[in-house]
Amino acid sequence: MASEQVAFITGGNKGIGLETARQLGKQGIKVVIGSRDKERGAAAVQKLKSDGVDAAFIKFDVTDAADYQAAYDYFDNHYGKLDILINNAGISLDDFMGGNKTSSTAADSLRKTFDTNFFAVVAITQALLPLLRKAPAGRIVNLSSILGSNTLHATPGSPIYEAKAFGYDASKAALNSFTIHLAHELKGTKIKVNSAHPGWVKTDMGTDAAPMELPDGARTSVRLATLPDDGPTGGYFHMNDALPW
């Protein structure tokens, strides 16, 4: 079994996930990206390899439970462990520019959003946790958002007070709760669990209106994925700054 560090990044074939893979790879970490589409996954790996990154991909759909066991088997057979899990895949079905439409948010939209942004993250993390326990210092990074901060949503004048996209916001608040609870369970181990707010980044979801470029958008995930032994756990961060829950 390889002794090198290996990272798994869900939704890693584009955007923040792909840039996170590039930056981790530049640190000598083997990166495996999960992609729903095999062709896009293969294309992403070629981009990474052309940049000198040791990369691979597996077909992985966060909403397909069969892929969880396949992912476990892949890392168990190839490495016997998993050092870093970055739960990067996420969706939004809300209209971010349409104002507060909480009272008319469709139940189906809520379910689909939570299936990807919350339930799938819990499930894949639980499935891969035995391999993270085998790593010398496991790291779990949950891609949240500042929009998951209930404190800021409830504070008039905060940067997000008027930005109410109920389905997305609630799913990220639930994800933050998972971070807190899992970190508490694992506090006696070498595994660290943290939530990351990447910032408003130029991606398919963030659009070209976003002020941040991809390299900066990946920095929080990379920092939390490579924390030293005395680094934080059970936290909620953007870059080096802690965010209020």
pLDDT digits 0-9 by tens, 125-134 = 999 999 999 9
Which pLDDT band holds residue 220 (cuts at 50, 70, 90)? very high
CA distance 113 to 175: 12
Contacts 24+ apart (CB under 8 A), 103-109: 105/166, 105/167, 109/167
* Per-residue pLDDT band at 202 (split at 50, 70, 90): very low
Q: What 3 state SS string does 146-189 have?
A: HHHCHHHHCCCCCCCCCCCCHHHHHHHHHHHHHHHHHHHHCCCC
**Residues 163-181: tens digit of each pLDDT:** 999 999 999 999 999 999 9
Confidence of residue 2 (pLDDT cuts 50, 70, 90): low
CATH number attached to the domain at 6-242 = 3.40.50.720
Among 222, 193, 83, 145, CA closest to 153: 145
Q: Provide the 3-class DSSP secondary structure of residue 9.
A: strand
- Mean pLDDT for the stretch of residues 19-42: 95
CA distance 92 to 114: 10
* Distance, CA of 26 to CA of 20 (rounded, Å): 10
Cβ atoms of 234 and 183 within 8 Å: the answer is yes
Place of tokens 């949950």: 142
Distance CA 31, CA 34 (A): 10
Active site residues per annotation: 168
Q: Say if residues 225 and 24 touch (Cβ distance below 8 Å).
A: yes
Radius of gyration of the chain (CA): 17
Q: Report domain extents, the chain.
A: 6-242
Closest CA to 82 of 47, 50, 58: 58
pLDDT of residue 80: 98
Q: What is the pLDDT of residue 230?
A: 96
Q: Is the pLDDT of residue 214 over 70?
A: no
Query: Rounded distance, CA 89 to CA 131, Å?
Result: 20
32-81 pLDDT per residue, tens: 999 999 999 999 999 999 999 999 999 999 999 999 999 999 999 999 99
Is the pLDDT at 27 greater than 60? The verdict is: yes
